[in-house]
Amino acid sequence: MLPTRQWVIAPPRKTLVVGVADMVVSNDGSAEIVTYSLGSCLGVTVYDPVKKVGGMLHLMLPDSTIDAVKANTMPYMFVDTGVPRLFHAAYNLGADRSRLVVKVAGGAQLLDQQGIFNIGIRNLAALEKLIAQNGLRIHAADTGGLSSRTVRMDLTTGEVSVKTPAAKPYPL
């Protein structure tokens, strides 16, 4: 007689998708957060490993002063208006500033290979300045280059992975 096997079927993971100029923050450990097609845009993640609170922001531009109307209607589009909202949303779910792990990916020169506009570089510079001004640090980054990126965050572990068209997903 053959031994019987018992199979454990895990429920499917929830995928919380962050669109362009959008943000998602959650404490749902059964979920992952993902954003697709980061070119010159940045994907910024925060995670508190104690409270298991994580969030992701897909921002497009460094400075909201170029368009006050968009800054009001689409604050996640910009570094200076989106990043503070990301942190405050995580704090509202119980994250502690001293435990937050900050990671960033993107900032490629996808459509600007001659470096005329340098949007990716400017986005990263604005983010680094804002983070430093607030006494925080970026724990890991995968930025620049000429490839788009997809970024995923596991809300159970806080692990962040990056996928480019030419590579398998790799940890950030």
**For 82-104, what is each residue's pLDDT tens digit?**
999 999 999 999 999 999 999 99
Would you state the pLDDT for residue 109? 87
Asked whether residue 8 is domain-assigned, the answer is: no
Q: Which residues are catalytic?
A: 41
Q: Each residue of 115-167: pLDDT tens digit?
A: 567 899 999 999 999 999 999 999 999 999 989 999 999 999 999 999 999 89
Q: Look at residue 36 and tell me whether its pLDDT is greater than 60.
A: yes
pLDDT band at 62 (very low <50, low <70, confident <90, very high): very high
Domain membership of residue 162 (yes or no) is no
Q: Which domain holds residue 35?
A: 14-148
Q: 108: which 2 tokens? A: 């490629």
Backbone phi, psi, residue 133, to 5° = -60, -25
**Which backbone phi and psi does 131 adopt, to 5 degrees?**
-65, -45
- What CATH number should be reported for the domain holding residue 116? 3.30.1330.200
Q: Length of the chain in residues, anyone? A: 172
